[in-house]
Amino acid sequence: MHPQRRMQYLEAIGIDLWVSRRDSGARAAATVAASGSAAAPDPPPPGETAARWEALRSEVLRCTRCPLHLTRTQGVFGVGPSRADWLVIGEAPGAEEDRRGEPFVGAAGQLLDAMLRAIGLDRGTNVYIANVLKSRPPGNRDPRPEEVAACLPYLVRQIALLQPKIMLAVGRMVHRFGELNTPLVVTYHPAYLLRTPADKRKAWEDLKFARSVYQQRANAQ
Ligand code: SF4
């Protein structure tokens, strides 16, 4: 990406360009490389991929596995291309996501999109975005362990279809993807960054770290 364009994106997400980057390595300590030793599951034949995605989406939108289906407006499946090197994982839909049926919309979604654009990613073309929970917890309360346990298999199936080369988890919840050998980098949730703009620079360091991990993997293949 052209440096000037990147600067424009960084300005748009509120990062001070003059700030020292001396602690750029520190945030690496906050990253998690999922260390599952097993190989990723084989991707389905290309002709079957679209059908499997559609079947999974339909299953999620009709799901009644946990009580959250009683209070949601609609399930929030995920958004992005059917194959993408990058997967961004959030916690659960909020009110706006529940209303519109798409993850990361509203102010936090706009900030996430701006951050992703700063490293050359776009939800319409090369990054997939999904939540761990596909239905909104009432009042935006924290997801309960039994809800995560019920819903996580859907995300695992999304990952199997997507075959991402890197995953970026935003928010407090970190999950182990022990069956997959895909790096998982953890960073701040955009909603938190809207409340705490001073930490945007740390999130930017996380994104740069994720990009470097991705490039290392891409170069090694
Ligand atoms: S949160 Fe997940 S498991 Fe619970 S009803 Fe929604 S889709 Fe089903």
Predicted pLDDT of residue 176: 47
Q: Is the CB of 132 under 6 A from ligand 1?
A: no
44 falls in which pLDDT band (50, 70, 90)?
low
pLDDT per residue over 104-127, tens digit each?
Answer: 998 989 999 999 999 999 998 999
**64 Cα nearest atom in ligand 1:** 5
Instruction: Kindly report the pTM of this predicted structure.
Output: 0.76
Q: Is the CB of 69 under 6 A from ligand 1?
A: yes
Predicted pLDDT of residue 101: 96
183 falls in which pLDDT band (50, 70, 90)?
confident
pLDDT per residue over 190-205, tens digit each?
Answer: 988 999 998 898 888 8
Element (H, E) at 58: helix 46-61
Tokens (6 digits) for 54 = 């559609």
**Chain-centre distance of CA 2, in angstroms?**
25
Mutual angle of helices 200-220 and 106-117, in 10-degree steps: 50
How many angstroms is it from 59 CA to the middle of ligand 1? Answer: 10
pLDDT per residue over 60-113, tens digit each?
Answer: 999 999 999 999 999 999 999 999 999 999 989 999 999 999 999 989 899 999
Question: Roughly how many angstroms between the first and final C-alpha of the chain, as a whole number?
Answer: 22
121: exposed, middle or buried (C-beta count within 10 Å: 0-12, 13-18, 19+)? buried
Q: Is the CB of 134 under 6 A from ligand 1?
A: yes
How many angstroms is it from 176 CA to the middle of ligand 1? Answer: 19
CATH superfamily of 25-220: Uracil-DNA glycosylase-like domain (3.40.470.10)
Predicted pLDDT of residue 172: 58
Q: 206 vs 137, which has greater pLDDT?
A: 137
- Any idea where the domains of the chain sit in the sequence? 25-220
Which alpha helices (H) appear in 92-197, and where do they start and end?
Answer: 95-100, 106-117, 145-162, 190-195
111: exposed, middle or buried (C-beta count within 10 Å: 0-12, 13-18, 19+)? buried
Going by the DSSP 8-state scheme, the letter that residue 123 receives in this structure is T
Q: Which whole number is the average pLDDT over 145-157? A: 90
Q: 67 vs 19, which has greater pLDDT?
A: 67
